[in-house]
Amino acid sequence: MTSSRPDGQRSPTLEEVAEWAGVSRSTVSRVINGVSTVDPELRELVQRAIDVTGYVPNLAARSLVTRRTDSVALVVSEPDDRTEQTEPFLNRIFTDPFLGRITAGALEVLRPEGIHLVIMPAESPAHHHVLRYLRQGHVDGVLLISSSDEDPLPQQLCDLGIPAVLSARPGKPLPMSYVDVEQQVGAKLAAEHLLAIGRHHLATISGPLDMPSSQDRLAGFRAALAVHGHAYVPSAAGNFTRASGEQAARDLFAAHPEIDGLFVANDLMAEGALQALRDLGRRVPEEVAVVGFDNSIAALQCRPQLTTIHQPLEEMAAEMARLLLARIGKADPKPRSVIFHPRLVKRESA
Amino acid sequence: MTSSRPDGQRSPTLEEVAEWAGVSRSTVSRVINGVSTVDPELRELVQRAIDVTGYVPNLAARSLVTRRTDSVALVVSEPDDRTEQTEPFLNRIFTDPFLGRITAGALEVLRPEGIHLVIMPAESPAHHHVLRYLRQGHVDGVLLISSSDEDPLPQQLCDLGIPAVLSARPGKPLPMSYVDVEQQVGAKLAAEHLLAIGRHHLATISGPLDMPSSQDRLAGFRAALAVHGHAYVPSAAGNFTRASGEQAARDLFAAHPEIDGLFVANDLMAEGALQALRDLGRRVPEEVAVVGFDNSIAALQCRPQLTTIHQPLEEMAAEMARLLLARIGKADPKPRSVIFHPRLVKRESA
DNA sequence: GACCTTGGAGAGAGCGCTCCCTGGAATACC
DNA sequence: GGTATTCCAGGGAGCGCTCTCTCCAAGGTC
């Protein structure tokens, strides 16, 4: 806020610009908002006045009347019951390439529209904090990354009528647009690839089981294997961090040393699994083949480089932004879902 | 914004709550803002009215008169000239544990004060975007993470009188508070440890050389070694990513195969260096000792675990938040610096 | 009982903007 | 030439809140 600028003077108002230019407040307002019915000569005069005075519209005043703020929030939400984890929430989300890709994709759409993106982590203790922020009208809408089907936030936003778009199929049916990838298809791709390269003892490391996407990947993997006669597939759940993948792999191989093919529900956990396998002296891919999920930068950084299921996160986030803008534009709340296709990216690990 | 709630009705106003309670607008306002001169009975009545109507103050209206928004921005800035990097800016900042720790530390202080934190990446094409956002008065102040001494943002904020606190010594002297760690001391700790464990051929991987903190770490390392007679220290610069650390290590060992002690300017690059050394068949720490910087989660995730220089990022961010709040509170612009102490954390790699 | 003090509620202005409405000048039409 | 039409600038209301000021009533003082 420029109210505390060093010289003590507040930033100029529309009125002052108008006075400088010798026109009315309305005219200046028109110039600023690009209304076409302004004499070109006057327009230029006003523009000069704006430049000279260093005028910047006061957002509060504007949005008081327009009821728009031209910014949307990217909320990364986490429910109460998963707070007892080894790695703090903020560490987790700011270490996973996921968020960066989502942000990049969303900005791709929002920036040209002149809409700002504010990123808000909402782990349990801050949940109500963030809700209050959203209710106060700081933003026009929210892109919601929710990590559990128990998360109340989608429902709350729905009830409050705050425009929102979800990053995945909601846990419970909700009249809300969302974007997703065909999780089951992705898992099937992984399963069939592992079978195709001759692996018979398959297992999987899943994400947290309260997440629809984790459930889908697990179910998809099992279903695809069932088709090929594999009735039982050992699995262990992680929480999408590297460390949890490492631990899950250790557990899995301790119980089932015969495993020769592993599907891991994201690249970060796969990287951890690779670490565990190295420690266990299992060669990848010769003895154990590993397939990840995401095709994030992490897949390229580990050794061997990860064969993985690509999901187009940037495009998905861009689509989320588009859906949100459409929703903000008109209050017509016909929820839409946009589903993307995964694909296998073959590298060294399988 | 609840203006688009499904039933089409806008969220209730102060006036409506007042009517419900049969009191004046002023009284409701007093209750909401916790003014003590309200009859307890009336207070309770008003509170009930607020609950029933589901009233939430309209932020725009409030901040129009108070000139406060009760939120501050965490801006991660990057200047123009470093945009040609291999890894996109957003990937970089959202993959480095750094940002998560900063956020956590800042929230520790801001949350109890009821102040919201919005995170804004400001890589080159969006720079003016973010500046506009800040000028519009969306936030009361900014915590600025700047990565180059060429970055114009600190100066701009200064000129505009927008309260801000920097995360490190500014490249050019500026009347602005900042927080830092004794970079040179940290580097010296690393140098002396490497010497103490009997290494003689030392080298370093630095951060980007347009960053004051990178310069300081490099200079500190060199200075400490000079004291022990080492006139020349091979170095290579990375950009704080894992991949850049890997590449720098390769370059360094190609040119100087005799290196037996390596100081790397952050843990992420050190992790990359470890990877390179593994590929090169050099055992760590037996043949090459490696010391990192940060003591981030990354230091624990790599093998061998990293000996590193701890910097208390969470506390530093908390202090930044405190300095900012003080600055926002009163316009008294006496800039303060708070310098933290690094310490060596010994693990496996050196 | 007349006066002063004090606690607590209401009235009103105004923050800076948008947007509708009005009105005057310029142009078009009969 | 008079009227209708268009164009474009200005006037004014009002968005929802805060905050100062006013005012009333209750209590205290002599």
Residue range B102-129, pLDDT digits in tens: 999 999 999 888 898 988 888 776 677 8
Q: Which helix (H) or strand (E) holds A307?
A: strand A307-310
CA A183 to chain centre: 16
Distance from CA of B295 to the nearest CA of A (A): 13
More confident residue, A143 or B16: A143
3-class DSSP state of A178: strand
Q: What is the pLDDT of residue A313?
A: 96
Report the gap between the CA of A350 and the closest CA in chain B (Å): 20
Backbone φ, ψ for residue A295 (5° rounding): 60, 55
**pLDDT-based confidence at B272, cuts 50/70/90?**
very high
Q: How many domains does chain A have?
A: 3
Per-residue pLDDT, averaged over B256-284, amounts to 95
* Residue pair A236/A251 in contact by the 8 Å Cβ criterion: yes
Specify the pLDDT at position A4. Answer: 37
Confidence of residue B315 (pLDDT cuts 50, 70, 90): very high
The answer, yes or no, to whether residue A8 has pLDDT greater than 90, is no
Q: Are residues B188 and B306 in the same domain?
A: yes
Confidence of residue B81 (pLDDT cuts 50, 70, 90): low
pLDDT at position A84 is 56
Instruction: Report yes or no on A63 lying in a domain.
Output: no
What phi and psi values does residue B88 have, to the nearest 5 degrees? -60, 145
Say how far residue A247 (Cα) sits from the centre of its chain: 25
Q: Answer for B33: CB within 7 Å of strand C.
A: no
Question: A337-340 and A116-122 as β-strands: parallel, antiparallel, unpaired?
Answer: unpaired
Given a cut of 60, whether residue A36 has pLDDT beyond it is yes
Q: Does residue B347 fall inside a structural domain?
A: no
Contacts of residue A117 in chain B, CB cutoff 8 Å?
120
Residue B286 domain flag = yes
Separation of CA A134 and C1' D23 in angstroms? 39
Average pLDDT over residues B230-257: 95
pLDDT of residue A86: 63
Residues A300 and A245 in one domain: yes
Q: Do residue A194 and residue A305 come from a single domain?
A: yes
* A56/B135 Cβ within 8 A: yes
- A309 in helix, strand or coil? strand
Answer yes or no: do A306 and A188 share one domain: yes
Asked if A60's CB is within 8 angstroms of B60's CB, the reply is yes
What residues of chain A lie within 8 A of the CB of B64, using their CB? 58, 60-61, 64
Does the structure show a pLDDT above 80 at B79?
A: no
Q: The tokens 């091979």 sit on which residue?
A: B234
A325 and A296 Cβ atoms separated by less than 8 Å: no
Q: Give per-residue pLDDT as tens, A212-230.
A: 999 999 999 999 999 999 9
- Per-residue pLDDT tens over the stretch B39-51: 888 888 889 989 9
Lowest-confidence range among A83-87, A123-127, A157-161, A307-311? A83-87
Residue A260 contacts residue A285 (beta carbons within 8 Å): no
For residue A18, the enclosing domain spans 2-57
Q: Residues of B with CB below 8 A from A8's CB?
A: 331
A319 shares a domain with A177 = yes
**Residue B6 confidence (pLDDT) above 50:** no
Instruction: Give the long-range contacts of residues B32-37, CB within 8 A, separation 24 or more.
Output: B32/B57
Question: Whole-angstrom Cα distance, residue A170 to residue A179?
Answer: 10
Cα–Cα nearest to B221, from B199, B250, B241, B239: B199
A76 and A178 part of one domain: yes
Nearest C-alpha of chain B: how many angstroms from A222? 30
Instruction: Dump the DSSP string for B101-162.
Output: HHHHHHHHHHGGGT-EEEEEEE-GGGHHHHHHHHHTTSSSEEEEEE--TT-SHHHHHHHHT-
* Start-end of H helices in chain A: 14-21, 25-32, 40-53, 59-66, 89-93, 97-110, 127-135, 153-160, 183-196, 212-227, 242-255, 267-280, 297-301, 313-329
For the cut 70, the answer to whether the pLDDT of residue B85 exceeds it is: no
On whether both A152 and A218 belong to a single domain, the answer is no
Give the CATH number, domain containing residue B226. Answer: 3.40.50.2300
Site from B118, B143, B241 to mutate, A interface, most A CB atoms within 10 angstroms: B118
In-domain check, residue B195: yes
Structure tokens at B33: 């803002």
Q: Which one-letter DSSP state was computed for residue A265?
A: S
Whether A332 and chain B come into contact, CB under 8 Å, resolves to no
pLDDT score for B37: 79
Helix (H, G, I), strand (E, B) or coil at B255: helix
Q: Which residue has the tokens 């060093």?
A: A6
Question: Do residues B162 and B134 make contact, with C-beta atoms less than 8 angstroms apart?
Answer: yes
Q: Could you tell me the two tokens for B213?
A: 């903190």
Confidence of residue A147 (pLDDT cuts 50, 70, 90): confident
**Residue B350 within any structural domain of the chain:** no
pLDDT of residue A127 exceeding 80: no
Q: Are residues B80 and B132 in the same domain?
A: yes
Asked if residue A234 has pLDDT above 70, the reply is yes
A137 and A213, same domain (yes or no): no
Q: Taking residues B176-201, what's their average pLDDT?
A: 96
Calpha distance A305→A299 (Å, rounded)? 6
Q: What is the mean pLDDT of residues A109-125?
A: 86
Nearest to A4 among B90, B117, B163 (CB): B163
Nearest nucleotide from residue A42 CA, by C1' atom: D9
**Do A87 and A19 sit in the same domain of this protein?**
no
Are A33 and A75 in a shared domain?
A: no
> Which two three-digit tokens encode residue A17?
């610009």
Of B1, B133, B161, the CB nearest to A116: B133
Distance A342 CA to C15 C1' (A): 53
CATH number at residue A45: 1.10.260.40
A63 touches strand C (CB under 7 A): no
Between the alpha carbon of residue A198 and those of residues A191, A233, A289, B72, the distances in Å are: 11, 16, 10, 56
Interface test with A, best of B9, B11, B92, B95 (most A CBs within 10 A): B95
pLDDT (tens digit per residue) in B160-175: 889 999 999 998 899 9
Which one, of B177, B79, B68, B81, lies nearest residue B128 by Cα? B79
CB contact A6 to B (< 8 Å): yes
Nucleotide nearest to B67 (CA to C1'): C15
Please state, as a whole number, how many other Cβ atoms lie within 10 Å of the Cβ of residue B231.
Answer: 7
Indicate yes or no: strand D within 7 A of the C-beta of B53: no
Cα dist. B332→A8, B109, B163 in Å? 11, 21, 10
Q: Which two tokens stand for residue A92?
A: 């987790």
Is the predicted pLDDT of residue A296 greater than 50, yes or no? yes
In this complex, which of B11, B95, B140 lies closest to A297 when CB atoms are compared?
B95
Cβ contact A6–B57 (<8 Å): no
Mean pLDDT of A49-74: 91
Closest alpha carbon within chain B to A90: B100
Record: contact B103-A116, CB cut-off 8 A: no
Which positions of chain D lie under 7 Å from any protein Cβ? 7-12, 14-20
Q: Are residues A15 and A121 in the same domain?
A: no
Q: Would residue A66 count as lying in a domain?
A: no
Asked, for residue B19, whether it belongs to a domain, the answer is yes
Judged by CB atoms closer than 8 Å, whether chains meet at B61 and A64 is answered as yes
Q: Is residue B200 part of a domain?
A: yes
Enter the tokens of residue A171.
């846990």
Q: Which residue does chain B place closest to A64, by CA atoms?
A: B60
Over residues A279-302, mean pLDDT? 94
Interface of A with B in 236-295 (CB under 8 A): 242-243, 275, 278-279
Which tokens sit at B204?
């370093």
Under DSSP, the state recorded for B304 is: S
Residue B7 has a pLDDT of 39
Over range B81-94, report the average pLDDT: 73
Closest CA to B308 of B280, B276, B283, B274: B274
Interface of B with A in 169-208 (CB under 8 A): none
